[in-house]
Structure 1
Amino acid sequence: MSLFPVPAPDQIGEPFWAAVAERRLTVQRCPACREWTWQPKPVCPACGSPDLTWEAVSGRATVCSWTTPRPPVLPAFESLVPFVVLLVELDEGVRMVGQLVGDAGDLLRTDGTDVTFSIGTRVTLRWRDQDGQWLPSWAVDR
């Protein structure tokens, strides 16, 4: 089976991926104005502070949107479709993208018609192993 490409962290996002390697989900937060920041940035987009820190988040979220890639897709994804990509909003207010997985973190090969979820469905963080790289993914709450 083909695998998805493994992320290549840059200097700004490296602390996120270091936490992910330990199966911890962290997001930047500004100590000055307390705003959360996602995607990783060198300065706070709200107040301009260069002192962003990384804080743990709950991993609890709500589905905002989703899509299902279908053929034709990039060759790296041919053996994996269909699967569901979710846009979720964490309870902390940050939106992230991840794949729909089962409770054990296994990628669900589905077009979404056999899984009950919709906008507003509650999901929980699960960790999916992608060729030795842990990836934050989401499972529907039961």
Structure 2
Amino acid sequence: MASSEKKTLYTADAQAVGGRSGHVRSSTGVIDLEMSVPEGLGGKRGATNPEELFAAGYSSCFQQALLVIAQRAGDRLDPDTTVNCSVSLFQEGEGYGLSAVLDVDLKKFDEQKTIEMVRQAHRICPYSVGTRGNMEVELRVKGQAIPVEAAENAGVAEKG
């Protein structure tokens, strides 16, 4: 497939009713959750929120990108590899925004190889590509921030 062709691989559908104090349900019924403002902001216990769902999706998707990067290099990830994602909601003036921190522990690779794999995953992960230029994303390896070039958080993804 030429790099300029776009092919839809999958489309997920979900419906929300009632906003942050409502309910979300996916078309498959796998997600069927009560929503609330985060508990720390006065919401109810036992309900989820958009930031929590985004963090779960981003961490899972980013780990898949790491699996792809490892496979391309002829490597395998340790089964205990973790990707933690923290998504923050903030207010700036009249608007609201999100930022994210991805903290990766690949377990078996040295620090330099891990950093390179995380940076490569950030180039191809659909969440990273979708948020690039719109949302600050910090990359960490075992809690330590790693350098991210401005181009890696702005503009469009690399082709190839």
| TM-score (norm: length of structure 2) | 0.23
Larger RCO (CA within 8 A; separation ≥ 6): 1
Larger radius of gyration: 2
Question: Which of the two has greater strand per residue?
Answer: 1
Question: Which of the two has greater helix per residue?
Answer: 2
| TM-score (norm: length of structure 1) | 0.25
